[in-house]
């Protein structure tokens, strides 16, 4: 079958790469794609947020399956428009996509459904937000309610920092319209993990676990980013915890959406905190995580096209996923200055040497200029490897990265450190 993937980041490269190797898939098209994706799919220069352009592209190409990678087109209603013309779409409709599009909506839904999450309040008035923060004290979490590309979360260690962050968001300085409403949350202590599910109505198929590193710097220090690396599986997510997340978080959330008339077809991403009182929900996304998708696709052995088409056509029941027993680890290479301002158009060399060192290079924010690969975004590459342990995968990736020739890029040196520490403790 012919498959159209919408998007042009590292997640979409991983999806296109896996679809290219899926027996059920004869052709992969990606809009808009990037130079790395072009090695695995036919790229068409239609932007991921160009809803009318994507609709016309679907009419022209007539793919059997359309996979919407990023959250913005889903929140803009791309899934609804494509389905109205008879296309099989993997990605939720606009009503269900509010689960990611509005953190306020998401938290209210969790409260209604009894989903375990942090105590919260939502505010649009700076003075009311400040009063709440001074009453609660610190540490405390302040989130922009709207879409902020994974960066709209501030963990404040003191009240004055929290008040300043909330006022900055509500004034529109930090995250624009996304911060016109803020969610103030209780700070949860524990280890964070990512639990993803392929959902088709009331049928929920769990993916293997993963763990993302959202902070910019080693040791999980510095500001939040869209993700600086990830690995799968996450040893902190035991089979018992995975079952608890499925039954107490995923199922009630999907049921609560359905009760509102919002049927969910797509990927439900639950960011969870493993607290001493059990798993609690930090956030929901309505698509594959980035960079979690890269290690997950590296380990998936099932036919991705077949599974996602079954979900889109509401015949997912009875299907299961096969996984490589090895561990996968992905390190994100970002542009210097990210998540703030950064210089674009810098030549990136050594990519063949990186790939020849046993790692897969997934392109995220890249472009082509005069025959060279250059950076065009904040997060630029996702260098990923499979090995028998997380520590072994980590060694492969960092050895491969030593071959990269790009002075304008940087990456964390400790991705996977929690799992590596666990492996050392378990060795005889």
DSSP for 412-424? -S-TTHHHHHHHH
Mean pLDDT for 345-350 is: 98
Cα–Cα distance list, 104 to 74, 101, 180, 284, 345 (Å): 17, 9, 11, 11, 37
Q: What is the pLDDT of residue 130?
A: 86
Are residues 211 and 302 both part of a single domain? yes
Are residues 208 and 306 both part of a single domain? yes
pTM here is: 0.94
Please state which of the ranges 72-81, 217-226, 346-355 shows the lowest mean pLDDT.
Answer: 217-226
Mean pLDDT for 57-69 is: 98
CATH of the domain at 341: 3.90.600.10
Are residues 358 and 336 both part of a single domain? yes
Q: Please check whether residue 61 is in contact with residue 6, taking contact to mean a CB–CB distance below 8 angstroms.
A: no
pLDDT higher than threshold 80 for residue 135: yes
pLDDT tens digits, 20-59: 999 999 999 999 999 999 999 999 999 999 999 999 999 9
Which residue has better confidence, 29 or 150?
A: 29
CATH of the domain at 8: 3.40.50.20
Are residues 33 and 62 both part of a single domain? yes
Q: What is the pLDDT of residue 281?
A: 96
Cα–Cα distance list, 378 to 118, 151, 180, 225, 374 (Å): 30, 12, 24, 10, 12
Buried b (16+ CB within 10 A) or exposed e, 86-118: ebbbbbbbbbbbbbbbbbbbbbebbeebebbbb
Is residue 145 in some structural domain?
Answer: yes
Is residue 112 in some structural domain?
Answer: no
Please state which of the ranges 139-143, 280-284, 315-319, 388-392 shows the lowest mean pLDDT.
Answer: 139-143
Beta strands in 309-378 (DSSP E): 327-335, 360-363, 366-369, 372-375
Determine the Cα–Cα distance for residues 92 and 199; give it in Å rounded to an integer: 9
DSSP for 337-349? TTTS------B-B
Q: Which of 265, 286, 312 is the last residue of a domain?
A: 312
Please tell me the total count of domains within the chain. 4
Joined tokens for residue 144? 């922009």
Q: 123: Cβ–Cβ under 8 A, 6 or more apart, which residues? A: 129, 132, 166, 170, 181, 182, 184
Is residue 48 in some structural domain?
Answer: yes
84: domain range? 2-93
pLDDT grade for 151, boundaries at 50, 70 and 90: low
Exposure on the CB side of residue 281, measured as CA atoms within 13 A:
32
Q: Please check whether residue 97 is in contact with residue 74, taking contact to mean a CB–CB distance below 8 angstroms.
A: yes
Q: What is the pLDDT of residue 375?
A: 98
Give the percent of the chain with pLDDT over 70: 97
pLDDT tens digits, 354-399: 999 999 999 999 999 999 999 999 999 999 999 999 999 999 999 9
pLDDT grade for 144, boundaries at 50, 70 and 90: confident
Q: What is the pLDDT of residue 165?
A: 87
Considering Cα of 55, then 61, then 63, then 68, what sign does the dihedral take? negative
Q: Please check whether residue 137 is in contact with residue 212, taking contact to mean a CB–CB distance below 8 angstroms.
A: no
Q: What is the pLDDT of residue 255?
A: 97
pLDDT tens digits, 259-290: 999 999 999 999 999 999 999 999 999 999 99
Is residue 318 in some structural domain?
Answer: no
Are residues 174 and 204 both part of a single domain? no
Q: Please check whether residue 194 is in contact with residue 212, taking contact to mean a CB–CB distance below 8 angstroms.
A: yes
Is residue 111 in some structural domain?
Answer: no
Is residue 106 in some structural domain?
Answer: no
* Mean pLDDT across the chain: 94
Q: What is the pLDDT of residue 174?
A: 66
Is residue 17 in some structural domain?
Answer: yes
Cα–Cα distance list, 246 to 107, 195, 207, 232 (Å): 18, 9, 11, 18
Are residues 193 and 294 both part of a single domain? yes
Determine the Cα–Cα distance for residues 183 and 13; give it in Å rounded to an integer: 32
pLDDT higher than threshold 50 for residue 320: yes
Joined tokens for residue 375? 């950076």
Determine the Cα–Cα distance for residues 228 and 216; give it in Å rounded to an integer: 6
Is residue 414 in some structural domain?
Answer: yes
pLDDT grade for 428, boundaries at 50, 70 and 90: very low
CATH of the domain at 146: 3.30.1490.20
pLDDT higher than threshold 90 for residue 176: no
């Amino acid at each position: 079958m012919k498959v159209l993937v919408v998007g042009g980041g590292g997640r979409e490269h991983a999806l296109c790469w896996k679809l290219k190797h899926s027996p059920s898939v004869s052709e992969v098209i990606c809009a808009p794609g990037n130079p790395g994706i072009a090695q695995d799919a036919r790229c068409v220069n239609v932007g991921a947020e160009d809803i009318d352009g994507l609709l016309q592209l679907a009419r022209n190409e007539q793919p059997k399956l359309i996979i919407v990678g990023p959250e913005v087109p889903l929140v803009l209603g791309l899934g609804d428009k494509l389905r109205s013309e008879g296309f099989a779409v993997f990605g939720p409709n606009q009503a269900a996509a509010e689960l990611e599009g509005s953190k306020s909506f998401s938290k209210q839904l969790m409260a209604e459904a009894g989903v375990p999450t942090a105590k919260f309040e939502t505010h649009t008035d700076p003075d009311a937000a400040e009063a709440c923060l001074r009453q609660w004290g610190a540490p405390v979490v302040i989130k922009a309610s709207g879409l902020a590309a994974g960066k709209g979360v501030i963990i404040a260690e003191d009240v004055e920092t929290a008040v300043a962050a909330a006022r900055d968001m509500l004034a529109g300085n930090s995250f624009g319209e996304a911060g016109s409403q803020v969610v103030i949350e209780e700070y949860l202590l524990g280890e964070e993990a990512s639990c993803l599910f392929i959902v088709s109505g009331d049928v929920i198929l769990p993916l293997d676990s993963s763990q993302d590193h959202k902070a910019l710097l080693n040791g999980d220090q510095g500001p939040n980013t869209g993700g600086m690396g990830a690995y799968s599986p996450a040893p902190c997510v035991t089979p018992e915890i995975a079952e608890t997340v499925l039954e107490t978080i995923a199922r009630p959330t999907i049921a609560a959406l359905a009760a509102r008339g919002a049927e969910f077809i797509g990927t439900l991403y639950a960011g969870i905190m493993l607290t001493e009182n059990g798993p609690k929900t930090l956030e929901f996304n309505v698509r594959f995580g980035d960079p979690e998708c890269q290690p997950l696709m590296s380990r998936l052995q099932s036919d991705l096209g077949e599974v996602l088409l079954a979900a889109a056509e509401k015949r997912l029941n009875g299907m299961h996923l096969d996984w490589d027993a090895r561990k996968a680890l992905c390190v994100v290479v970002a542009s210097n200055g990210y998540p703030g301002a950064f210089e674009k158009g810098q030549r990136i060399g050594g990519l063949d040497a990186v790939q020849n060192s046993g790692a897969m290079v997934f392109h995220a924010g890249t472009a082509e200029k005069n025959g060279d690969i250059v950076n065009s975004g904040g997060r630029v590459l996702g260098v990923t490897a499979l090995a028998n342990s997380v520590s072994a995968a980590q060694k492969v990736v960092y050895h491969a990265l030593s071959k990269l020739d790009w002075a304008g890029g940087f990456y964390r040196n400790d991705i996977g450190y929690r799992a590596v520490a666990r492996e050392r403790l378990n060795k005889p």
